[in-house]
C-alpha cells in the first residue's frame, strides 16, 4: 500500500495534523521561498519594470516622472542604427542556419564514431566554445589587426598591402560573423554527435545490406533520426543571435560608424552608457518580444513534431 493511498483514508483534520508533524508543510514553506524570492526580485521584477520604464523619459535618477507614452518606441523604430542592429542580428541567424549548422552537421557525420582520432578532433572543435566570448573577441581582434595580426602576416607573405577588416564599413561585420562561427560551430556539432550516437546501429546495417550508399544512409536514416536535435540547435542559434554582445565589444565596439551593432550592444550603447533608462528599457522590451516570439514559435514546431 502506498503512502498516498493510506493518506486518502484519513479524515481531513488528521491529514493536516500529519502533514504538519512530518514536515510536509514546513518543507514547502522553507525550501521553496528562497528560489521564488530570488527569481522574482532579480528576474521577473526587473522585467516588469522594463515595460514600465519604457514609457518614460528617464535618466535613472530619482523616480521616472516624464511620461512619454510610446515615444521611445517611435524613436527606436525610426533610428537607422537600430535598423542596422536588427539587420546584423538577422545576418547572424542566416549565417548560423546556412553556414554554421551545415558545417557542424558535416563534421558530426565525419567524426561521430567513437575512435581515438575522432575524440581528438571533437575536443579541438569544441575548444572555442568553452572560451569566454570576451577572450575569443580579443584573440580575433588580434588576428584581424592589420598592423600586427595574422591578416598582416598573410598580407605580408603575399607582398600585398595590409588591410584593416574591422575598420571597414562593408566587411567588419563579416569578420564578426567569422568569429561567431568559429566560436559556436563546435557546440552545434556536439549536439548532433550526441544524437547520431543514438541512431540504432542495426538500422544503418540493414540499410547497408539492402545496398544503400553512404550518402543515402545519411539522408534517409541518420538525418531523419536526428531531426529533433537539428530543430533544437536551430533554436539555440536564433536565441543566441539575439544575445550577441561580448564578442562585439573587443572586436569593434559597434563601429566603424555604428555598422556592427547587435540589438544588445545597441541597448548597451544607447541605453546604458548614456543613461537613457527609458529608451534602453524600450529596446529591452523589443528584445523580450522577439525572444518570446521565437520561443513560442519553436514550441509549436516542437509540439507538432511530438504529435507526429
Partner 1 sequence: MTRGQLIRNILRVAFLCMVASFVLAPMLATVLGGFKSNAEIRTSALSLPESWNLEFYGSIISDPAFWRYLGNSLLISSAAVVLTLIVGSAAAYVFAQIRFFGSRMLFSYLLLGLMFPFATAILPLFIKVRDIGLLDTWWAVILPQTAFSLSLAILLFRTFFEQLPKELFEAAYIDGCGYVRFFWRFTLPLSAPILATVGVFVFVQSWNNFLLPLVVLNSREAFTWPLGMMQFRGEYVTQWNRTLAFVTLTIVPAIVFFLAAQKYIVAGLTGGAVKG
Of 46-54, 66-74, 91-99, 203-211, which segment contacts partner 1 by CB under 8 A?
Answer: 46-54
With the C-alpha atoms ordered 190, 191, 194, 199, is the resulting torsion angle positive or negative?
Answer: negative
Write out the binding residues for partner 1, residues 62-101 only, by CB under 8 A: none
Quick one: which of 203, 243, 255, 256 contacts partner 1 (CB under 8 A)? 243
Residue 79: C-alpha distances to residues 75, 114, 132, 270 (Å): 6, 52, 31, 11
Of 75-83, 85-93, 145-153, 163-171, which segment contacts partner 1 by CB under 8 A?
Answer: 145-153
> Which secondary-structure segment (H or E) carries 138?
helix 133-143
Measured from the Cβ of residue 133, the count of other Cβ atoms closer than 10 Å reads 21
Quick one: which of 10, 38, 77, 90 contacts partner 1 (CB under 8 A)? 38
Write out the binding residues for partner 1, residues 104-133 only, by CB under 8 A: 107, 110-111, 117, 121, 123-133
Instruction: List, in sequence order, every beta strand (DSSP E) within the chain.
Output: 56-57, 66-67
Quick one: which of 145, 167, 204, 207 contacts partner 1 (CB under 8 A)? 145
Quick one: which of 10, 14, 42, 205 contacts partner 1 (CB under 8 A)? 42
Residue 128: C-alpha distances to residues 173, 181, 242, 301 (Å): 19, 10, 20, 30
- In whole angstroms, the minimum distance from the beta carbon of 307 to partner 1 comes to 19
CA nearest 207: which of 223, 191, 195?
223
- In whole angstroms, the minimum distance from the beta carbon of 64 to partner 1 comes to 10
**C-alpha cell of residue 164:** 584593416
Instruction: List, in sequence order, every beta strand (DSSP E) within 32-158.
Output: 56-57, 66-67
Establish if 223 lies at the interface with partner 1 (CB under 8 A).
Answer: no
- In whole angstroms, the minimum distance from the beta carbon of 168 to partner 1 comes to 19
Establish if 203 lies at the interface with partner 1 (CB under 8 A).
Answer: no
Q: By CB under 8 A, how many residues form the interface with partner 1? A: 91
Amino acid at each position: 500500500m502506498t503512502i498516498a493511498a493510506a493518506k486518502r483514508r484519513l479524515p481531513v483534520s488528521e491529514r493536516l495534523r500529519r502533514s504538519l508533524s512530518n514536515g510536509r508543510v514546513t518543507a514547502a514553506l522553507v525550501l521553496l521561498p528562497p528560489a521564488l524570492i530570488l527569481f522574482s526580485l532579480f528576474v521577473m521584477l526587473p522585467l516588469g519594470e522594463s515595460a514600465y520604464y519604457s514609457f518614460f523619459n528617464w535618466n535613472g535618477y530619482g523616480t521616472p516622472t516624464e511620461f512619454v507614452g510610446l515615444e521611445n518606441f517611435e524613436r527606436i523604430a525610426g533610428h537607422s542604427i537600430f535598423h542596422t542592429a536588427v539587420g546584423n542580428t538577422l545576418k547572424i541567424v542566416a549565417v548560423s542556419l546556412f553556414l554554421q549548422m551545415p558545417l557542424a552537421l558535416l563534421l558530426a557525420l565525419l567524426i561521430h564514431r567513437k575512435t581515438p582520432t575522432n575524440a581528438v578532433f571533437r575536443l579541438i572543435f569544441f575548444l572555442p566554445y568553452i572560451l569566454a566570448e570576451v577572450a575569443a573577441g580579443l584573440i580575433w581582434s588580434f588576428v584581424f589587426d592589420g598592423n600586427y595580426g595574422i591578416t598582416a602576416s598573410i598580407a605580408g607573405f603575399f607582398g600585398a598591402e595590409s588591410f584593416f577588416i574591422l575598420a571597414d564599413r562593408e566587411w567588419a561585420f563579416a569578420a564578426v560573423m567569422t568569429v561567431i562561427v568559429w566560436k559556436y560551430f563546435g557546440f552545434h556539432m556536439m549536439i548532433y554527435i550526441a544524437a547520431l550516437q543514438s541512431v540504432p546501429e542495426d538500422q544503418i546495417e540493414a540499410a547497408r545490406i539492402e545496398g544503400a550508399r553512404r550518402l543515402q544512409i545519411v539522408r534517409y536514416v541518420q538525418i531523419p533520426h536526428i531531426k529533433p536535435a537539428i530543430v533544437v540547435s536551430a533554436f539555440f542559434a536564433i536565441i543566441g543571435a539575439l544575445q550577441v554582445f561580448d564578442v562585439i565589444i573587443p572586436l569593434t565596439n559597434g563601429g566603424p560608424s555604428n555598422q556592427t551593432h547587435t540589438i544588445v550592444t545597441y541597448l548597451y550603447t544607447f541605453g546604458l552608457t548614456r543613461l537613457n533608462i527609458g529608451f534602453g528599457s524600450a529596446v529591452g522590451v523589443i528584445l523580450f518580444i522577439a525572444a518570446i516570439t521565437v520561443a513560442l514559435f519553436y514550441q509549436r514546431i516542437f509540439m507538432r513534431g511530438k504529435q507526429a
